[in-house]
Amino acid sequence: MKNSFSLKAGALLTTAFGIILVSGSTGSLTFAQDALPEGFKKSELAPEPSADMIEAGKRVYFTKCVWCHGVDGAGDGPGADRLWPRPRNFNQGTFKIRHTASGELPLFDAKKPIPGQNDLFETVTHGLPGSAMPSWEGILTEEQRLQVLSFVTTQLVKDRKFTDKQSEAQTVLQLEGLKPIAASEDSLKRGSELIVEKKCVECHGAEGRGDGNAFNLKDDWGFSIQPADWHKCWNFRGSRQDPYNVKNIFRTFSTGVNGTPMPSFADNSTVEERWHIANFVNSLCEREADGKPLSIDPLTDKPKINFVVSSGVVEGEIPADPEHELWKNRARRYVAMGGQITHKPRNFVNRIDDIWVKSLYNDKHIVFMFQWDDRTKSVAEGKLPWAPTQVNVDVKEQDPKTGEEGSIASHQNNYTVYNDAIAMETAVKWKELPAPIKPRYLFGSNEQYPVDIVKWEADGSLRAFKGTGWDKDFEERDTYEENIKILHSEWKNGRWTVIVQRPLGNKKDQDYDEDTFFEMGQYIPTVFFAWDGHNGDAGRKMAVSAFYYTFLEPPTPREAYIYPVAIAFGVVLLEGWVLTRRSNKRKGKTL
Amino acid sequence: MKAIMSVGALIGVVGLLLLVGMILDIVPSNTVRLVEGYMPVQMLLELALFVAGFAGLSYMMTAMGMTFPRFWQGILFWAFILLYLKFRVYPPIPFSVRAMYGTVSLVAVFMWVSANEEDWKKFKQPIMNILDAQTGMNKLLRYAYLIVLPILIGGFSYNAMVPKSEEPIELRTVHPAPPASTKVHGKTYTLQTSQNPYRVNPEGKYDQEYTNANIVEQGMGRLMKPNANPWDKDAQGYLKYVREGGEIFFQNCHFCHGDNLNGRGLHAFAFNPIPANFTDPGTIAQLQETFIFWRVSKGGIGLPNEGFPWASVMPPWEQHLTVDEIWKVILFEYWHTGYYPRTWD
């Protein structure tokens, strides 16, 4: 750890020397000006926080932070080993989200909690989405947040000193003074060229889903790390609870992310170029069909969830091509996924945190289109460690001590590869379940009220299982498999698109006691599962959603056209009656 | 008087602008934050401020010779309350509850406008004017109403009848009645008599008073007492067990229940309903420690039939934790939220 840091510092020094030598030889006198990247300005180091602040901050730290960041701030608290990305190790003074130039300490001033001038304060205030670091606003007061940062920056940052003018300098990105360039078509086009020119795509992938040739990237501490998926801007660490704001992307691109392979592009791109890139990256983030940003739930900082997956009716054949008009025009639903951490083997770090679902139906079939981002296409190489049907597998979960072999963090990107997969679970005989019709979470109520699971795997298989209860193994269901069909499956630039067709269900061809029957206008409880084969996901080690409802949109009934007209006519009559009464009364009075 | 009223008017205008901003999505709805736990009081206070502001506004307008008709005051105030409930409060209040509040405030507005004969006359005057239609303007308005009202009502009923896919409403029992006893890891625990073996004083005796003196302080941040740090190297007894409980919590529970025990963990956004918020005074603060022991050990699947619809992914933690670990986690949860477990007497 130490070594990598000093190496880095050495490299920095050498570069600095190089610059001095070069500028010396050309005889330039405006060295300081030249060395500054465009858009940056030198600034003074902040004064040391008071001893009172530091002491008070210790109390905050040991109540709230120690559990993940550890007693010495080395990012090794009790929670650390089951988190990915891991909690920050403060000791080296390496912080990701900053306004300062690459390699420099972030801005922190215990007396100035001003947005844009206090990076660490903003990190604590807004949290780091996509990681376990929550937003502490509303939990800790402003004062408490400044106190705890005073403690962290003076006591837990050990290798560097925030106030040491000899070793530290601050070159600050003047973000407020730089006017963003409008995201015009030209700007986006220039941005799309620049991300290739600047080699962004090498790590972030051709479509920016973080699927470039960067699979084995490591951070300064040797822990695996993955490039950002530009399509999920709400997971950007530096999104500051304002994910569609292009300034955040501009800042990260200008300053780089310390401690990770993401460099600063300030030296080799102009401010204008950076705006074009930021505009383009921002334009890739998922949006509504009309181009508006998705509405973000302020409680979770993720897109708002609607739990009804509605299926649209189609006359005739349902297309197998995802580019078909019918699919393109179909509304999609955001389905949030969490790790399955209730049954062994538990999945604390699910890599798939959302999927997009669309659905269409005709008189015979219902078809689901699943799309989700997965940085790696995984087709099983090794034998599964446990049967895909098995639950409560007796695996030794690692002794959660930081630094030990076999911890989740040291395992990342190092698993035997299994199949990527997606599955949907629907309740069987849901009509007979008492209201609200939901089986006992998660895997069916019992033998009488089972669930029906249809699972697609990246090796091209489509299988059906039956779930009969919480701690029960799934049962294979060969009888249903001949009824279901893969219409399309493709992994392209970090995104899977899978289209699966299944029967609506009727008593003649299907088994009412084992298969889900889909009915128009009814709410059918549905759960989604997802597996990332490169994450060691197999069997119950997977990502799960909550209960959603599949809803087959019924056509508008005739009554909806008749009754309103009748009602409106009734209102006209009522109006006539009131007016007549009033005028009679008045006449009576005046007479 | 005038000064007070103009301050009131200012508050009214600023408040209205904020609300309009929130409705049009210009001002983020969390500009003025609703603080968890204080939300109902805060809402009442805000509404009171608005009422004061409107009173001031109305006074000022009258003083400036622009009297606002009582009729429109009533209607607009009611509309204001409905908009406030819909756009100000987050997480959103379900429609059924808003409809209830709306009815109550409609009654209140009626009581206000009909407080005495004169007020009532003032209130219904505009309606009568339109009905009588003695001026050209009123005649025009009357025809407009004649046409617009049926269209509007027809439109509403069409809207109500067109098939929609709204999530079915789901109610559930939050704290179902516990059983008399529960069997965990082969041992039976009677809920009424069992005690947390780690809630002890330095002499090793069960002691609520001693441990309650060492929990975190209530108030923003809920920080630990300055001389009761579980991470102190010399921490013994209760505080040491708290730390051990915290270690288990941050290896197993925080994924859902959150770093601050507020039900907003890393995976919480994917679940519905969201995981229990222990900082809410309605959860562990209301319950006995043994109740928590039963719920943690048996999880969502162990809920009794009355606990329908069992919408819980809480695993039976007895499958992952020992009895000692469960007691320690419970100890930590009370310590970290600064609540006392309820006792049986």
The domain tally of chain A equals 4
Give the pLDDT score at A335: 97
Do A422 and A515 reside in the same domain of the chain? yes
Name the least confident of A15-19, A46-50, B312-316: A15-19
The dihedral through the CA atoms of B319, B321, B323, B328 has a sign that is negative
A29 in B contact zone (CB under 8 Å): no
For the segment A295-328, what is each residue's pLDDT rounded down to a tens digit?
999 888 999 999 999 999 999 999 999 999 999 9
- Provide long-range contacts, Cβ within 8 A and 24+ apart, for A428-433: A428/A452, A428/A466, A428/A513, A428/A514, A428/A515, A428/A516, A429/A512, A429/A513, A430/A516, A430/A522, A430/A524, A430/A525, A431/A519, A431/A522
CA distances from B219 to A149, B222, B223, B265 (A): 20, 5, 8, 21
Q: Do A438 and B250 touch (CB under 8 A)?
A: no
Instruction: Choose the closest CB to B166 out of A79, A136, A308.
Output: A308
Contact check, Cβ <8 Å, B167/A138: no
Same domain, A418 and A279: no
- Inter-chain residue contact A556 with B162, CB threshold 8 Å: yes
How would residue A22 be classed by pLDDT, with cut points 50, 70 and 90?
Answer: very low
Higher pLDDT, A388 or B318: B318
| Residues A58, A195 share a domain | no
pLDDT value at residue B103: 93
Average pLDDT over residues A209-219: 83
Residue showing tokens 């109610």: B171
Contact predicate A469/A451, CB 8 Å: no
Check if the beta carbon of residue A374 is closer than 8 Å to that of residue A380: no
The shortest C-alpha distance from A302 to chain B (Å) reads 8
* Contacting residues of B for A338, CB less than 8 Å apart: 255-256, 266-271
Q: Please check whether residues A571 and A516 belong to one and the same domain.
A: no
Distance CA B107, CA B103 (A): 6
d(CA A227, CA A87): 17
| Interface contact flag, A344 B167, Cβ < 8 Å | no
Domain boundary among A156, A175, A194: A175
| Cα separation, A366 vs A518, whole angstroms | 8
Output the six-digit token pair for B105.
Answer: 């405030």
- A398 or A387, which is more confident: A387
Spatial separation of the C-alpha atoms in residues A469 and B301, rounded to whole Å? 10
A78 vs B251: CB contact, 8 Å cut-off? yes
The verdict on A171 and A189 lying in the same domain is: no
Residue A7 covered by a domain: no
CA–CA distance, A204 with A230 (Å, rounded to integer): 8
DSSP B285-312: GGSBHHHHHHHHHHTGGG--GGGTT---
Angle (nearest 5°) at CA A260 between A299 and B269: 15
Nearest in space to B311 (alpha carbons), one of A424, A441, A150, A294: A441
The answer to whether A571 contacts B149, with C-beta atoms less than 8 Å apart, is yes
Q: Are B87 and B29 in contact, with CB atoms under 8 Å apart?
A: yes
Q: pLDDT category, A214, cuts 50, 70, 90?
A: low
Q: What is the pLDDT of residue A360?
A: 97
Q: Mean of the pLDDT values across residues A91-106? A: 95
Tokens read off for A564 = 């309103």
- C-alpha A352/C-alpha A542 separation (Å) is 9
Are the C-beta atoms of A286 and A332 separated by less than 8 Å? Answer: no
Q: What are phi and psi of B313, to 5 degrees?
A: -100, 10
- Residue A296 covered by a domain: no
CB contact under 8 A, A307 and B272: yes
* Low-confidence winner among A195-204, A212-221, B77-86, B186-195 (lowest mean pLDDT): A212-221
Mean pLDDT of B130-157: 88
Closest CA relative to residue A436, chosen from A307, A305, A299? A307
Q: Is position A202 within any domain?
A: yes
Supply the angle between the helices B117-132 and B70-83 in degrees, to the nearest 10: 100
Among A106-110, A398-402, B203-207, which stretch is predicted with the lowest mean pLDDT? Answer: A398-402
Least confident of A177-191, A369-383, B10-24: B10-24
pLDDT number for residue A331:
93
Cis link prior to A180 (omega < 30° from 0)? no
Q: Is residue A86 a part of any domain in this protein?
A: yes
The crossing angle, in degrees rounded to 10, of helices B323-337 and B289-298 is 130
Q: Is the pLDDT of residue B188 over 50?
A: yes
Mean pLDDT of B144-157: 90
A223 and A122 co-located in one domain: no
Q: Say if residue A4's pLDDT is above 70.
A: no
pLDDT level of residue A330 (50, 70, 90 thresholds): very high
CB pairs under 8 A between A and B: 196
- What is residue A30's predicted lDDT score, i.e. its pLDDT? 37
Mean pLDDT over the full length of chain A: 88
pLDDT of residue B2: 78
DSSP state of A308: E
What tokens appear for B312 in the block? Answer: 């819980």
Domain ranges of chain B: 2-142, 181-337
Taking the CB of residue A315, how many other CB atoms lie within 10 A of it?
Answer: 7
> Quick one: A212 and A147 in the same domain?
no
Say if CB A367 and CB A360 are below 8 A apart.
yes
Q: How far apart are CA B113 and CA A158, in angstroms?
A: 69
- The ipTM estimated for the assembled molecules is 0.88
- Whether residue B267 and residue A341 make contact (CB cut-off 8 A), yes or no, is yes
pLDDT at site B37: 65
- DSSP code per residue over A353-418: -EEEEEEEE-SSEEEEEEEEE-SS-----S--SS-TT--S---------TT-TT-HHHHTT-SPP-
pLDDT at A289 over 70: yes
H-helix or E-strand spanning residue A526: strand A523-531
Which residue matches tokens 């925080």?
Answer: B254
Residues A51 and A84 placed together within one structural domain of the fold: yes
Q: Which of A413-422, A440-449, B252-261, B284-293 has the lowest mean pLDDT?
A: A440-449
The token pair at A566 is 């009748």
A305 lies in a domain? no
Q: Note whether A578 contacts B: Cβ–Cβ < 8 A.
A: yes
Q: Is residue A4 part of a domain?
A: no
User: At A480, which CATH number?
Assistant: 2.60.40.1190
pLDDT at position A178 over 60: yes
- Chain B CB contacts of A62 under 8 Å are 224, 229-231
Residues found in chain A: 591
Both structure tokens of B7: 């301050």
Domain match, A171 and A123 both: yes
From chain B, the residues in CB contact with A555 under 8 A are: 163
The DSSP code for A152 is I
> Residue A3: pLDDT band by 50, 70, 90 thresholds?
very low
Task: Map residue A531 onto helix, strand or coil.
Answer: strand
List, as ranges, residues 163-182 from B with C-beta within 8 Å of A: 163, 165-170
Q: Beta strand A354-361 with A333-336: parallel, antiparallel or unpaired?
A: antiparallel
Q: What is the mean pLDDT of residues A513-542?
A: 92
A164 assigned to some structural domain: yes
Q: Are residues A196 and A162 in the same domain?
A: no
Range of the domain at A204: 185-284
* Proportion of chain B above pLDDT 90, given as a percent: 43
* Residue A297 within any structural domain of the chain: no
Domain identity same for A578 and A444 = no
Strand partners, A361: A313, A366
**Cα separation of B274 and A18, whole Å?**
56
Q: pLDDT, tens digit, for every residue of A458-481?
A: 999 999 999 998 888 999 988 888
* DSSP code of residue B269: G
Question: How far are the Cα atoms of A220, A461, B323 from residue A487, in angstroms, in the given order?
Answer: 44, 12, 50
Give the gap in angstroms from C-alpha B170 to the nearest C-alpha of chain A.
6
Asked if A552 contacts A520 with a C-beta cutoff of 8 angstroms, the reply is yes
Distance, in Å, from the CA atom of B310 to the CA atom of B172, rounded to the nearest integer, reads 8
Residues A152, A57, single domain; the answer is yes
